Structure 1
């Protein structure tokens, strides 16, 4: 299996997901050690075009992507082919997981940018828990309402920001394309209620959506310093709560 350091993103754009990749690299080491094997079984629910799935397959893991969009799955297959790896693709929603995949067959489930859109987030998490072997892990990434309120306010949309803060689902209005958003505390509670032991909450894209890319392009030193800043902010007790997204791992109880 290849060195998992290949999972560390490089460049200004990749800083946006670096915190998630670092958490995944650590949990892959943990799971491989516990299982006594390097090749893990991974399910990427809503994995789309394979931004996470293909790099994981490049590490030698067996990856299955379940996504409702045939166009996204076609793009996934092209990306996997270009990378010279195999990724299994299945068309379906989060609610279809129990019918599409065997129970207890996965070591790791990715649930990235999914809970915002499913009809019943708690039911989706319970279904994902059913896919995991004992001791398996889920990686959850979701939009943060606090960051969205800040972004709406700084763009002059003050009423939308106010509406979002007043809405338990973190939704700012009829034209909001995201049905719901989650704080780190909210995700941790949802995981606990769905049969997981939640881990530490990380903020993702604390500064990455605020700093113009021109300040980083062509300057490796600036990009490296910015990546270090994002990693420090991800665990900061205040800054992580204003990140664009929140990330949390949950171990199957």
Structure 2
């Protein structure tokens, strides 16, 4: 997909899978993201076996974690290569899941309501973010949960402003966000306060909100090299669920429970 076309279509990561694995999943950033997600979801993880839909499963890390505990997983993604990687790790682990090469919108039209829906790092890559969120969240049972992870609008603005140079006028004009920058920068970062209000209006209560990398991603290479990474992660952990700091995380995770069915 050409850079100028980003944002007009849902992103398929087939052409970028190697870069995605290296920059998103590997290293301290990927490890920290997985650690916090698992903490936020630990109570559900320990429940009796649930029906779980991973809507945009990527490489299937979190889905595999749940499947190993005996939960029933349905995984979908529009990326053939991502699904093949996910299938491989499931096979190697000796656990099963259902895999479908479908966009979340299409899968939502045919899947039953679930105890838990995982919608992680997908909404910011969609041509119609809130429309798709509406379809996906409709598949959560009353009393069930939606786990929503997204690239944070506020972090995007603040981090680029701190970089100075061409980034300053760039962030001032949202109409060109998807036309410049790196290919792994999502075209539609989301505001946590907007999504929280959306969830409340659609019958959800917020159970957990966590900021993922509230300091790390604002530090330049020199600062990171001069910092003890364990001390930094301790600081991250101390503030990642505190108001103000959590809203500045590079990613935001929200775990919400559906108390009414507004469909």
Q: What's the TM-score once normalised by structure 2's chain length?
A: 0.75
Measured in 2, the distance between the counterparts of 1:129 and 1:191 equals: 9
| RMSD, aligned CA | 2.5
17, 32, 38: which one aligns with 1:21: 38
Q: Which moved more, 1:77-86 or 1:229-238?
A: 229-238
Runs of 4+ in 1 over 4 A off after TM superposition: 213-216
C-alpha contact 2:121 2:149 (8 A) present in aligned 1: yes
C-alpha contact 1:126 1:195 (8 A) present in aligned 2: no
Offset of residue 116 of structure 1: 0.7
Matches within 5 A, 1:1-253: 12-13=28-29, 14-29=31-46, 32=47, 38-102=48-112, 104=113, 106-157=114-165, 159-164=166-171, 167=174, 172-176=177-181, 177-209=185-217, 210=219, 212=224, 223=230, 225-252=231-258, 253=260
Measured in 2, the distance between the counterparts of 1:146 and 1:234 equals: 15
Measured in 1, the distance between the counterparts of 2:65 and 2:76 equals: 16
Offset of residue 204 of structure 1: 0.9
Q: Which moved more, 1:141-150 or 1:122-131?
A: 122-131
C-alpha contact 1:198 1:249 (8 A) present in aligned 2: yes
For 1:112-139, what per-residue CA distance to the aligned partner results, in whole angstroms no more than 9, with x for missing partners? 1111122322222222232222201001
For 1:210-234, what per-residue CA distance to the aligned partner results, in whole angstroms no more than 9, with x for missing partners? 4748956xxxxx63x5443222211
Measured in 1, the distance between the counterparts of 2:78 and 2:192 equals: 26
What secondary structure, in the 3-state scheme, does the structure 2 residue paired with 1:172 have? helix
C-alpha contact 2:59 2:82 (8 A) present in aligned 1: yes
Cα distance change of structure 1 residues 191 and 138 upon mapping to structure 2, 3 Å threshold: same
Offset of residue 173 of structure 1: 5.0
Measured in 1, the distance between the counterparts of 2:156 and 2:212 equals: 13
Measured in 2, the distance between the counterparts of 1:55 and 1:214 equals: 34
Cα distance change of structure 1 residues 79 and 123 upon mapping to structure 2, 3 Å threshold: same
Cα distance change of structure 1 residues 193 and 92 upon mapping to structure 2, 3 Å threshold: farther
Partner of 2:18: none
What secondary structure, in the 3-state scheme, does the structure 2 residue paired with 1:150 have? helix
Cα distance change of structure 1 residues 226 and 63 upon mapping to structure 2, 3 Å threshold: farther
Unaligned regions of 5+ residues in structure 1, if any?
1-10, 33-37, 217-221
Offset of residue 163 of structure 1: 4.0
Q: What's the TM-score once normalised by structure 1's chain length?
A: 0.78
